[in-house]
Amino acid sequence: MRPSHMLRGLFLAAGLLLAPLIARAEDGHDLWLRYRPVEAGAAGVYRASAGTIAPVADTPALTVARAELERGLAGLLGERRDGGGEILLGTPRSSPRIATLNLPLEAAGAEGYRIRTLIEGGRSVTVIAANTDVGVLHGVYRYLALIQTRQPIDRLDLVDAPKVRYRLLNHWDNLDRSVERGYAGQSIWDWWRLPDVRDPRYVDYARANASIGINGAVLNNVNAKSDSLTAPYIAKAAALADTFRPYGIKVYLSARFSSPIEIGGLKTADPLDPAVRAFWKSKADEIYKAIPDFGGFLVKANSEGQPGPQDYGRTHADGANMLAQAVGPHGGIVMWRAFVYSHEQPDDRAKQGYSEFKPFDGQFAENVIVQVKNGAIDFQPREPFHPLFGAMPKTNLGMEFQITKEYLGFSTHLAYLGPMWEEVLKADTLAAGKGSTVAKVVDGKLHGYSRTLMAGVANIGTDRNWSGSQFDQANWYAFGRLAWDPEASSEAIARDWAAMAFSPDKRFVGPAVAMMMGSREAVVDYMTPMGLHHLMGRSHHYGPGPWVAGGERADWTSVYYHRADKAGIGFDRTAKGSNAVAQYAPPAAAGFSDLSTVDEKDLLWFHHLPWGYRTRSGRPLWDELVGRYSRGVKTVGGMQATWADLSPYVDAERHGEVAAYLAIQRREAQWWRDASIAYFQSINGLPLPKGEAPPPLSLEAYEAMQFPFAPGI
Ligand code: GCW
């Protein structure tokens, strides 16, 4: 044997011996698709039914479905699985065997699946069947998730289908690879090297999305550049579309409304001008030539300085319908954002979206979806549901959530957003009687919408762990699951994620999920308790800035929102104040207006109250606020302790990373508490409640802190 061979042999032998002892280093790159081996004790049972995979028809989606199944089973159960079971996947059209089974597949719809165990000649055959190839792929991911979360798979009979038709990520990614409000590195879209170079990450991105049912991606920032609609960029988008297609994911683009001027050589972008309409029609035709299944356009118009139809005295409906007419013949849609507010408008900013859109209910084309943020201001740690939900029965309304944590501590604070989204989706608009939940608006049941949409502003970037932190992956995951089923439980989703991303061991999942479920409320407590909102540092939104005042526009300041003075605090949105409550259905408005019925979590969103106002705890408002700030900090301390205890179940790399982030969060939670208290105390002159520590620094010291390099702008 040559010495080099001998050495290699030695290393191999040593490696084999040590392998079981050394947990594989992990960096989170595999997301929830880690497919690590099932414990020896349980693996046998799984191997008995998850055996060989029958051949599939040679279509792109079925090919990736089979490959994913093989990859997942090989990881979970090993390459050799000769327990006798067989897995059969396909559609009645692609598989004669499945066709003869005559499985009821109506409930699987166009993207769902049915999984059923049959016994054929004494051996188990697991059938993963669907009406479409991509439905089969979704079924494969569900099947793998059952094993990943250690559910039984030997007697399956389940059927599932998405309740929402368009389940989209919105990337606020710029063409120079910076990401607006991105905290996970640069954009994963390497626009410069596309279309020639197709980063393998694009495939993993598609796999991750398909595994949770996301079926579309808006590639570029809503603050859009017209360049995205030029031929070279269409070709780049087409390369991504080609990569995503087998996974059932379509590409969409944000369209800048003034493109006819910037790249079309026209003098106007007036939506009623025939030349402008012709521009958009031919632009759509050009895109569909390169991307036959192009999804459509997302538009931010007449908002925060973006161009729009109002520049020409036209309406949102005029603008949206023009684009809808251009993509309609190709099957495309237009998502028109309702996030609008204007500095010329002195009215409460919370009212402006409703005021601008409600009058046009029924005037939008059938293939337009008005995309509404969950709350009326802007992705705050807590907002009451947006008053447009329930108020536009004749207009398709879609939900826009923000997965990236612009206002919840960027990627260094652990905040699981599932409960926040669930809270909004479960909120009852009372628009058509009790049970008119936001979820039922969004899934179309309440008003019979022809098209339904859930969009999430992505938290994905070039960081190895994709989302900037390990736990922020859970927000991507939860968004997909809730888009599929807006009535799902965020806690059940957290359990699945924790089991797949870390460990299915109950001793891990229980405490980890408890920590996740309380994490968003902790952020609310230490940043903006009891209905306070928009108190973050100016423009970068990093850290506390309750003192922010002056500057370009009032509704970009904190004092506009908290309205604190010597006498009290809070934004009066009742009939005595801005009367924003009147935008809700009357019973909901009454509930918010009445101090005896409004939930204390929304108290200062709707009411301006004296510092001595008696809260439900019996404490005066000021004491209650201080108590909640402190409680938030304490909760983070508890999260640190929980995480420390979980080290036996987590690889050292990820455990260390999460611990380091929690230390940042603990420090910043304390900073939030201290700076907020210092500021409000300077306004009300009140003493701190007994036992509450005074802020260690002066208010001036907090105010003087500058963060010129905060990420995400
Ligand atoms: O919250 C604000 C953000 C902007 C964003 C805007 C929007 C894309 O601070 O960065 O712009 O919302 O949703 O359009």
Residue extents of the structural domains in the chain: 31-160, 166-496, 525-571+608-703
Q: For residue 92, what are the contacts with CB-CB under 8 A and spacing of at least 6?
A: 98, 99, 103, 105, 129, 131
CA 6 to chain centre: 52
**Would you give the DSSP letter of residue 612?**
T
Q: Is 102 helix (H, G, I), strand (E, B) or coil?
A: coil
Q: Looking at the predicted structure, is the pLDDT value of residue 11 above 90?
A: no
Q: Looking at the predicted structure, is the pLDDT value of residue 146 above 70?
A: yes
pLDDT digits (tens, 9 = 90+) for 603-656: 999 999 999 999 999 999 999 999 999 999 999 999 999 999 999 999 999 999
Q: At what angle do helices 316-327 and 274-290 cross, to 10 degrees?
A: 40
Beta strand 333-337 pairing with 368-373: parallel
Amino acid 25: pLDDT? 79
Confirm if 544 and 312 have CB atoms less than 8 A apart: no
Q: Which atom of ligand 1 is nearest to the CA of 303?
A: 14
pLDDT digits (tens, 9 = 90+) for 538-581: 999 999 999 999 998 889 999 999 999 999 999 999 999 999 99
Q: Is 129 helix (H, G, I), strand (E, B) or coil?
A: strand
Confirm if 465 and 473 have CB atoms less than 8 A apart: yes
Q: How many Å lie between the centroid of ligand 1 and the Cα of residue 89?
A: 43
pLDDT band of 81, cuts 50, 70, 90 = confident
Q: How many Å lie between the centroid of ligand 1 and the Cα of residue 463?
A: 22
Alpha-carbon dihedral angle through residues 181, 185, 190, 191, given to the nearest 10 degrees: 30
Q: How far apart are CA 436 and CA 429, in angstroms?
A: 6
pLDDT band of 519, cuts 50, 70, 90 = very high
Confirm if 400 and 373 have CB atoms less than 8 A apart: yes
Amino acid 15: pLDDT? 43
Amino acid 80: pLDDT? 85
Q: Looking at the predicted structure, is the pLDDT value of residue 13 above 90?
A: no
Beta strand 568-569 pairing with 609-610: antiparallel
- Exposed, middle or buried by CB within 10 Å (0-12, 13-18, 19+), for 3? exposed
* DSSP bridge pairs for 218: 170, 252
Kindly report the number of other CB atoms within 10 A of residue 244's CB atom: 22
Q: How far apart are CA 474 and CA 417, in angstroms?
A: 8
Question: Does the Cβ of 181 fall within 6 Å of ligand 1?
Answer: yes
378 catalytically annotated = yes
304 catalytically annotated = yes
Q: Which residue in 525, 522, 480 sits closest to 500, CA to CA?
A: 480
pLDDT digits (tens, 9 = 90+) for 242-253: 999 999 999 999
Mean pLDDT of 69-73: 97
- Look at the block and give the residue holding tokens 């409930």: 107
- The CATH H-level (homologous superfamily) assignment of domain 525-571+608-703 is Alpha-glucuronidase, C-terminal domain (3.90.1330.10)
CA 529 to chain centre: 23
Q: How many Å lie between the centroid of ligand 1 and the Cα of residue 381?
A: 15
- Look at the block and give the residue holding tokens 């006798």: 84
Question: Does the Cβ of 222 fall within 6 Å of ligand 1?
Answer: yes
Choose the catalytic residue: 406, 602, 623, 651. 406
Kindly report the number of other CB atoms within 10 A of residue 594's CB atom: 13
pLDDT digits (tens, 9 = 90+) for 361-374: 999 999 999 999 99
Mean pLDDT of 425-441: 98
Confirm if 308 and 257 have CB atoms less than 8 A apart: yes
Q: How many Å lie between the centroid of ligand 1 and the Cα of residue 122?
A: 59
Q: Which residue in 618, 409, 363, 376 sits closest to 523, CA to CA?
A: 409
Amino acid 83: pLDDT? 76
pLDDT digits (tens, 9 = 90+) for 39-57: 999 998 899 888 899 999 9
Q: How many Å lie between the centroid of ligand 1 and the Cα of residue 180?
A: 8
Q: How far apart are CA 631 and CA 525, in angstroms?
A: 7
Q: At what angle do helices 201-211 and 473-484 cross, to 10 degrees?
A: 50
Q: Looking at the predicted structure, is the pLDDT value of residue 189 above 60?
A: yes
pLDDT band of 24, cuts 50, 70, 90 = low
Q: Which 3-state string (H, E, C) describes 278-289?
A: HHHHHHHHHHHH
Confirm if 57 and 94 have CB atoms less than 8 A apart: yes
Q: How far apart are CA 563 and CA 611, in angstroms?
A: 12
Q: Which secondary structure element, helix H or strand E, spans residue 207, and what is its range?
A: helix 201-211
Confirm if 339 and 400 have CB atoms less than 8 A apart: yes
Q: How far apart are CA 569 and CA 36, in angstroms?
A: 52
User: Which token pair is 56?
Assistant: 């599939």
Angle in degrees, CA 446, 449, 450, rounded to 5? 150
Q: Which atom of ligand 1 is nearest to the CA of 402?
A: 13
Q: Return the residue whose CA atom lies nearest to atom 7 of ligand 1.
A: 339
Amino acid at 26: E
- Exposed, middle or buried by CB within 10 Å (0-12, 13-18, 19+), for 603? buried
pLDDT band of 423, cuts 50, 70, 90 = very high
Q: Return the residue whose CA atom lies nearest to atom 13 of ligand 1.
A: 339
CATH code, residues 166-496: 3.20.20.80
Q: Is 548 helix (H, G, I), strand (E, B) or coil?
A: coil
Distances in whole angstroms, Cα of residue 159 to Cα of each of 143, 152, 156, 397, 699: 11, 16, 10, 27, 58
Q: Which atom of ligand 1 is nearest to the CA of 180?
A: 10
Q: How far apart are CA 639 and CA 526, in angstroms?
A: 14
Q: How far apart are CA 77 and CA 316, in angstroms?
A: 54
pLDDT digits (tens, 9 = 90+) for 379-397: 999 999 999 999 999 999 9
Mean pLDDT of 462-490: 98
- Tell me the CB-side half-sphere exposure of residue 513, using CA atoms within 13 A: 22
From 400, 406, 561, give the residue whose CB has the most ligand 1 atoms within 8 Å, as the site to mutate.
Answer: 406
Mean pLDDT of all residues in the chain?
95
Amino acid at 86: E
From 180, 399, 459, give the residue whose CB has the most ligand 1 atoms within 8 Å, as the site to mutate.
Answer: 180
Q: Which secondary structure element, helix H or strand E, spans residue 659, and what is its range?
A: helix 652-684
Choose the catalytic residue: 157, 304, 552, 700. 304
Record the pTM.
0.96
pLDDT digits (tens, 9 = 90+) for 254-294: 999 999 999 999 999 999 999 999 999 999 999 999 999 99
Classify residue 435 as left (phi > 0), alpha (psi -120 to 50) or beta: left
Edge to edge, what strands does the sheet with 113-120 contain? 52-53, 86-90, 123-129, 113-120, 157-160
- The CATH H-level (homologous superfamily) assignment of domain 31-160 is Chitobiase/beta-hexosaminidase domain 2-like (3.30.379.10)
Choose the catalytic residue: 26, 378, 485, 668. 378
pLDDT digits (tens, 9 = 90+) for 209-219: 999 999 999 99
Mean pLDDT of 16-36: 74
Confirm if 457 and 335 have CB atoms less than 8 A apart: no
Q: To the nearest whole percent, how much of the chain has pLDDT over 70?
A: 96
Lowest-pLDDT range of 147-156, 339-348, 584-593: 339-348
Amino acid 581: pLDDT? 98
Amino acid 48: pLDDT? 86
From 221, 336, 339, give the residue whose CB has the most ligand 1 atoms within 8 Å, as the site to mutate.
Answer: 339
Question: Does the Cβ of 172 fall within 6 Å of ligand 1?
Answer: yes
**Total number of residues shown for the chain:** 713
CA 305 to chain centre: 25
Question: Does the Cβ of 339 fall within 6 Å of ligand 1?
Answer: yes
Confirm if 543 and 535 have CB atoms less than 8 A apart: no
Q: How far apart are CA 542 and CA 265, in angstroms?
A: 41
User: Which token pair is 144?
Assistant: 């793998």
